[in-house]
Amino acid sequence: MTRDEIKNEILGIFKDQFEIENPGLDDDLREVHEFDSIDAIELLGEIEIILSSELTRAEKKGAMEIRTINHILDYVESLSLARAKG
Amino acid sequence: MKKPETHLLCRYFKPVSDVIVTLLLWSYFTVGFVILFSPSYLAAYLFSENREISFQRLNHKFYKGFFYLARLLVFGHKWIISDDVRSIRSSIIVCNHISYLDPIFFVALFEKQKTIVKSTFFRVPIFGRMLKLSGYIPSTSGTNLSDLMLRHIEAMDDYLASGGNFFVFPEGTRSRDGTIGLINKGAFKIARLCKASIKVLFIRNTNKLFKPGKLLFNTCVSNTITVELIAIMEPDYQKSTFSISELMSEVRSILEAQRSNLVP
């Protein structure tokens, strides 16, 4: 998946699931949009669907400190790459 | 405004009664815990196959004992808890919040119970450890708590299916005047995550037994504490038009309407 494709998926999830429309890519999601740890857990479920693969506990734990959309894109991209390398 | 009726025996002894009752209840909390309950907690810690459930049961018994003692000692207060509240299982419960007594009262009401607790309490020695062992959820993930939060929220589905209740006071802090404050999304997000129904409860007058900002229990006043089930929400989480904000707004309106009905 390209970064743009991931971005479109993630922004769609933010709009539909979290009622957050057009967040800035570097907005602090917690500060600006009240995106909290429970949202993060819900997002992880959506990321598993995007990747068609379950995340490990360590991978999930790593996501809990994510703050911005760009961080999420980096995170998904790295997971996607890791899975592609197999 | 009509002054609350004072019991004859208490009329001249209220200040003394407040101090004595408070001391006795605090003694139960401290000495009573050490003597009556700490051996059971230790046994549960060492030998229980399911520490979380064992700790929740012990918490339930401990606080049930506390409120039993409070009913014995505090004159003038009546308690009315409807059967449909007592029989709630496998539910996400949201309720208005008016006193520090509310959360421990819910622990006393439900044998299997989880709730969200301020993250700072998890860092208090012994108490924080007990919160973790009881399976309570920190309010924010922060340092060292993200794994705990992740584990408990992921296991919430199974916990609810096993008959456990998850209660939350979505206003976050106590209301000083009974008005319904702004409500937080946390409980509703967890309900969506678990596709669970939401029971809306309304608690009344615990703030007259233990007033916000006071150190002493308020004895010798006529008061009726009630907990009622006022709504059961069964949102269609799959529906494309489902909105957490709308659900929250609906719950807040229900709580507000209930409060308005009670205000003379």
How do the pLDDT tens digits run along chain B, 264 residues long? 455 555 566 667 888 889 999 999 999 999 999 999 999 999 999 999 999 999 999 999 999 999 999 999 988 889 999 999 999 999 999 999 999 999 999 999 999 999 999 889 998 998 999 999 999 998 876 667 778 888 898 899 999 999 999 999 999 888 888 888 888 888 999 999 899 999 999 999 999 999 888 899 999 888 999 999 999 999 999 898 899 999 999 999 999 999 988 655
Beta-bridge mates of residue B225: B79
Between CA B22 and CA B18 the distance in angstroms is 6
Burial letters for B177-198: b for 16+ Cβ neighbours within 10 Å, e otherwise?
eeebbebbbbbbbbbbbbebeb
Helix and strand counts by DSSP (H, E) for chain A:
5, 0
H-helix or E-strand spanning residue A39: helix A37-51
pLDDT of residue B8: 63
Of A36, A42, A60, Cβ closest to residue B193: A42
pLDDT of residue A47: 94
Query: ipTM greater than 0.85, yes or no?
Result: no
Between CA B256 and CA B262 the distance in angstroms is 10
Tell me phi and psi for residue B228, to 5 degrees.
-125, 150
Residues in A touching B154 (Cβ below 8 Å): 41
The residue of chain A nearest to residue B150, with distances taken between CA atoms, is: A41
Tokens of B218: 């308020």
* The amino acid at B34: V
Residues in B touching A33 (Cβ below 8 Å): none
pLDDT of residue B1: 47
pLDDT of residue B260: 86
Tell me phi and psi for residue B110, to 5 degrees.
-115, 130
B140–A38 C-beta distance less than 8 A: no
Residues in B touching A41 (Cβ below 8 Å): 149-150, 153-154, 193
Between CA A65 and CA A44 the distance in angstroms is 12
Cα atoms in the Cβ-side hemisphere of radius 13 Å centred on B204: 22
Residues in A touching B244 (Cβ below 8 Å): 19
B146–A61 C-beta distance less than 8 A: yes
Between CA B99 and CA B90 the distance in angstroms is 25
Between CA B106 and CA B108 the distance in angstroms is 5
Tokens of B150: 């992740």
pLDDT of residue B174: 85
- What is the 8-class DSSP label of residue B139? S
Find tokens 């206003």 and name the residue. B171
B244–A64 C-beta distance less than 8 A: no
Tell me phi and psi for residue A60, to 5 degrees.
-65, -45
pLDDT of residue B32: 94
Between CA A56 and CA A33 the distance in angstroms is 27
B149–A37 C-beta distance less than 8 A: yes
Please list, in sequence order, all residues whose beta carbon lies within 8 angstroms of the beta carbon of residue B29, skipping any fewer than 6 positions away: B66
Between CA B175 and CA B36 the distance in angstroms is 33
pLDDT of residue B6: 55
Query: For testing the chain B interface, which of A36, A39, A48, A59 should be mutated: the one with the most B CBs within 10 Å?
Result: A36
Tokens of B261: 């009905």
Closest CA to B227 of B126, B119, B63, B87: B87
Q: Domains of chain A, with CATH numbers?
A: 3-85 (1.10.1200)
pLDDT of residue B42: 96
Residues 27-86 of chain A with CB under 8 A from chain B are 34, 36-42, 45, 57, 60-61, 64-65
Residues in B touching A45 (Cβ below 8 Å): 193
Beta-bridge mates of residue B79: B225
Q: Does B155 touch chain A (CB under 8 A)?
A: no
Give alpha helix (H) positions in A52-85: 57-63, 69-85
Residues in B touching A58 (Cβ below 8 Å): none
Neighbours of A8 (CB within 10 A): 12
Q: Does B185 touch chain A (CB under 8 A)?
A: yes
The secondary structure of B220-233, three-state, reads: CCCEEEEEEEEEEE
Listed as ranges, residues in chain A with pLDDT below 70 are none
Give alpha helix (H) positions in chain B: 14-27, 38-47, 51-73, 83-86, 101-109, 127-133, 142-154, 156-161, 186-194, 206-209, 244-262
Q: Does A4 touch chain B (CB under 8 A)?
A: no
Please list, in sequence order, all residues whose beta carbon lies within 8 angstroms of the beta carbon of residue A65, skipping any fewer than 6 positions away: B141, B146
The nearest CA of chain A is from the CA of B145 a distance in Å of: 10
